[in-house]
Amino acid sequence: MEINDGEEEEFEFSRNYFLAKELGSSAKKSARKISDIDLVDEQELRAATASIEPKHEKEIIALMNSYKKLYSRWVFELRCGFGLLMYGFGSKKALIEDFASTTLSEYPVVVINGYLQSINLKQVIIALAELWLDQLKTKRKTSSTLPKVHQPFSSRSVDDLLTFLDRSDVEEIDSFLCVVIHNIDGPGLRDTESQQYLARIASCSHIRIIASIDHVNAPLLWDKKMVHTQFNWYWYHIPTFAPYKVEGMFFPLVLAHSSTAQNAKTAAIVLQSLTPNAQSVFKILAEYQLSHSEEEGMPFDNLYTVSRERFLVSSQVTLNSHLTEFKDHELVKIRRRSDGQDCLYIPLATDALEKLLSEIG
């Protein structure tokens, strides 16, 4: 049987294809691993990226000024009951904070940094409840009309706190609390439970949310009810083209390995944002850990006693508030000693802890 030219070409192509597959499968595979890659030090890589000169500065400044013209409109939409959701390429942290500090000065503002690895939402709700009670005291002349607080907010459940924030008998008060959430899609808020709590906070009649998102799949965190009823988002495309300097500080770089100096530097930056008393309490814990390296940590009672003797705290509630900040920023952790007693420790190596003390000293 004769074979025409077209069939012969097709046969030759098939033969070459299967021959290549056979040779490829028998070839020796590379034994290299990702761990064999010589990664640069994280501090060096961050220093190199920080030294990159920004481009198009004039255009970016003009773009930011154009957004500032929207401030009055944003306040109007907040007063109408909407939540503002900012999206677009670039960090929106500086823009939102400028809006809050310049335009929302008459309203109490609570900031949640969603780019942190862990966030205590109950502490946020407690802070909102305390601010709202202060707001009621300011707005009302007589204390007889104020809602009675039978127990401290710190000992009440989240449901009770949210009920207090959503009281229907104080609707005549023309005021609200603003909650600024940087990276509402961040790792500390990305789980379902946190998003449901945030949606319940946003649905309170005296709460307004201003949030930013950066992940392309962030809208998948919410269902239809959360978007249109609870959050009641008004979407704004706000590309700033600003680098994620603060947000990226808490994430390890892919092409770098962490170092002692970098760990100490990151912790020092976080500590500098806290109060002097909180820093002093942290130094007590750090000094104890360095001088008692054979122990598993510092007992809470010991820390309270020393802090009280140095007039850094007046009660255990004050110390607990400092420890909550430490734990939220992963500066301090809790573990159980062999005798069953809980103790506090700083998850840093000895050399990193010594460098941190010199940084904040």
Question: Is 22 inside any structural domain?
Answer: no
State pTM to two decimals: 0.61
Q: Which residues of 271-289 are buried (b: 16+ CB within 10 A; e: fewer)?
A: beebeebbbbbbbbbbebb
* 299 vs 296: CA distance, rounded Å: 9
User: Which residue in this structure is represented by tokens 């530097």?
Assistant: 265
Q: Which domain holds residue 293?
A: 256-360
Contact 265/255 with Cβ under 8 angstroms?
no
Contact 214/236 with Cβ under 8 angstroms?
no
> Which of 194, 210, 237 lies at the terminal end of a domain, its last residue?
237
Average pLDDT, the chain: 81
Task: Please state the separation of Cα 74 from the chain's center in Å.
Answer: 23
Contact 262/355 with Cβ under 8 angstroms?
no
- Same domain flag for 345 and 275: yes
Q: Per the structure block, which two tokens stand in for 88? A: 């677009």
Question: Is 5 inside any structural domain?
Answer: no
Question: Is 322 inside any structural domain?
Answer: yes
Does the pLDDT of residue 43 top 70, yes or no?
Answer: no
Distance set, CA 118 to CA 71, 197, 213, 353 (Å):
31, 15, 17, 21
Does the pLDDT of residue 142 top 50, yes or no?
Answer: no
- Same domain flag for 204 and 272: no
Antiparallel, parallel or unpaired: β 333-336 and 342-345: antiparallel
Q: How many CB atoms lie within 10 A of CB 340?
A: 6
Higher pLDDT, 272 or 264: 272
- Same domain flag for 116 and 200: yes
Question: Is 344 inside any structural domain?
Answer: yes
* 278 vs 339: CA distance, rounded Å: 28
- Same domain flag for 179 and 308: no
> How confident is the model over 21-50, as a mean pLDDT?
57
Question: Is 26 inside any structural domain?
Answer: no
Question: Is 319 inside any structural domain?
Answer: yes
pLDDT of residue 174: 61
Domain count, the chain: 2
Torsion angles phi and psi, residue 94, rounded to 5? -65, -40
pLDDT of residue 137: 77
Question: Is 146 inside any structural domain?
Answer: no
Higher pLDDT, 273 or 60: 60
* 277 vs 255: CA distance, rounded Å: 37
Range from 32-41, 46-55, 150-159, 165-174 carrying the lowest mean pLDDT:
32-41
- Same domain flag for 199 and 311: no
Q: How many CB atoms lie within 10 A of CB 264?
A: 23
> Which of 237, 266, 282 lies at the terminal end of a domain, its last residue?
237
The one-letter code for the residue type at 260 is T
Question: Is 16 inside any structural domain?
Answer: no
* 95 vs 67: CA distance, rounded Å: 8
- Same domain flag for 220 and 171: yes
- Same domain flag for 83 and 168: yes
- Same domain flag for 220 and 339: no
* 214 vs 176: CA distance, rounded Å: 27
- Same domain flag for 90 and 224: yes
> How confident is the model over 110-133, as a mean pLDDT?
87
* 168 vs 206: CA distance, rounded Å: 10
Contact 85/235 with Cβ under 8 angstroms?
yes
Express each pLDDT in 312-354 by its tens digit.
988 888 888 888 888 877 788 888 877 778 889 888 878 888 8
| DSSP 8-state code for residue 178 | E
- Same domain flag for 109 and 191: yes
CATH (domain of 103): 3.40.50.300
Q: What is the 3-state secondary structure (H, E, C) of 247-259?
A: HHCCCCCCCEECC
| DSSP 8-state code for residue 182 | E
* 306 vs 71: CA distance, rounded Å: 48
- Same domain flag for 130 and 161: yes
Contact 156/122 with Cβ under 8 angstroms?
no
User: How would residue 33 be classed by pLDDT, with cut points 50, 70 and 90?
Assistant: very low
Q: Per the structure block, which two tokens stand in for 117? A: 């690895």
- Same domain flag for 227 and 260: no
Contact 137/143 with Cβ under 8 angstroms?
yes
> Which of 181, 206, 237 lies at the terminal end of a domain, its last residue?
237
CATH (domain of 267): 1.10.10.10
